[in-house]
């Protein structure tokens, strides 16, 4: 198997840098722009997980999107690229960084999937199913936020 150079980038913030306030509930709460290149061969769709491993309760998921068409190579700011699945806030929509204290890391993980449509309708189902349908490792970009 030849692994492609699957890369995720954003013009909204520097990878590893601070996420601007406009992408948080303290302002517009828009999802940031994302784009990618080098999707693995056999990709039938993409799925996106945006989560915070630094939450006091453990992993906190801010955004889940499945069934992003295989022809897609970017997500515009403040847009819905596929079918949203209920997140840790119990809503089906992007909700940006809002750490209770300190600086948290927010990972945007784009998965290439070997199916056109994921079945998952809950957060738990999504995390379980992505392990079965992903092609290789996700393309990742990470930003930080603190009040």
* pLDDT tens for each residue of 85-116: 999 999 999 999 999 999 999 999 999 999 99
Question: pTM of the entire structure?
Answer: 0.96
φ and ψ at residue 141, rounded to 5 degrees: -135, 140
**What percent helix, strand, coil does the chain show, rounded to 5?**
10, 35, 55
- Number of CB atoms found within 10 A of residue 55's CB: 15
Q: Dihedral of CA 54/57/62/64: which sign? A: positive
To the nearest whole percent, how much of the chain has pLDDT over 70? 97
DSSP string for residues in 68-107? EETT--EE-TT---SEEE--TTSSSS------SSS-EEEE
Is 1's pLDDT higher than 70?
no
Helix (H, G, I), strand (E, B) or coil at 109: strand
């Amino acid at each position: 198997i030849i692994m492609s150079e699957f890369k995720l980038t954003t013009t909204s913030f520097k990878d590893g840098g601070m996420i601007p306030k406009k992408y948080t509930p303290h302002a517009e709460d828009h999802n940031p722009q994302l784009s990618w290149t080098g999707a693995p061969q056999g990709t039938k769709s993409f799925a996106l997980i945006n989560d915070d491993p630094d939450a006091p309760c453990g992993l906190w998921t801010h955004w889940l999107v499945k069934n992003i068409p295989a022809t897609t190579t970017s997500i515009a700011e403040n847009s819905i690229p596929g079918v949203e699945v209920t997140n840790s806030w119990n809503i089906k929509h992007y909700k940006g960084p809002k750490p209770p204290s300190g600086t948290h890391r927010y990972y945007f993980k784009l998965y290439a999937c070997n199916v056109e449509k994921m079945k998952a309708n809950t957060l738990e189902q999504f995390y379980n199913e992505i392990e079965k349908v992903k092609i290789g490792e996700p393309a990742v970009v990470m930003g930080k936020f603190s009040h």
